[in-house]
Amino acid sequence: MPPSPRQPSRGKAWVTHGAVGAVALFLGVGIGISDDEARAEASDAGPTPRITVTKEVKVPGPEVTVTKTATVTAEPPKPSKQPKPKGPPTTVGGDGEYLVGEEMRPGTYRTGGPGDSFGCYWERARNSSGEFDAIIANGNLEGSGRVSVNKGEIFKSTGCQDWKKAG
């Protein structure tokens, strides 16, 4: 009878499994160090949105699973090219009374004309007294029109479409 094939010793099996475990451990430590370096470089960018991706990697050999987590930092949004204007608005409603310089900016405004069939009335005044002597200029529009207003004046509009700053 021929000799039976030799079974590997338990000691050899432990060495083989131990070596696979050690390789997996070194891979995990290497991955962890490279992630720490990436985080250190990204920390100078300031608070930004972060995306985390987790991926499982299978290593050939005995069932060993290494999990790698990487955090990617998104670039912050770019600021708008034109700064948002500060101060009074550059568009006012077609019906109202506005103090130029506080409730609307000084300058030239335009309107599309009457908001309905009853016409569009506008008025520039020295003050809000309502007195006839306070009127600097006024008019009735049947179509589109323009009016220039100065700081400190009162601008009144009735039955008009919105006034938008033109210059």
The per-residue pLDDT for 167 is 65
The whole-angstrom separation of Cα 88 and Cα 71 is 44
Q: Which of 114, 78, 124 is nearest to 94 (CA)?
A: 114
What is the average pLDDT across 80-90?
70
What is the average pLDDT across 89-115?
90
Residues 6+ apart with CB under 8 A from 101: 88, 151, 152
Statement: the pTM of the whole predicted model exceeds 0.75 = no
- pLDDT tens for 132-163 read 999 999 999 988 999 999 999 999 999 999 99
Exposed e or buried b per residue across 122-155, where buried means at least 16 C-beta atoms within 10 angstroms of its C-beta:
bbbbeeeeeeeeeeeeeeebeeebebebeeebbb
What is the average pLDDT across 50-60?
70
The per-residue pLDDT for 14 is 59
- Max intra-chain CA distance, the chain: 133
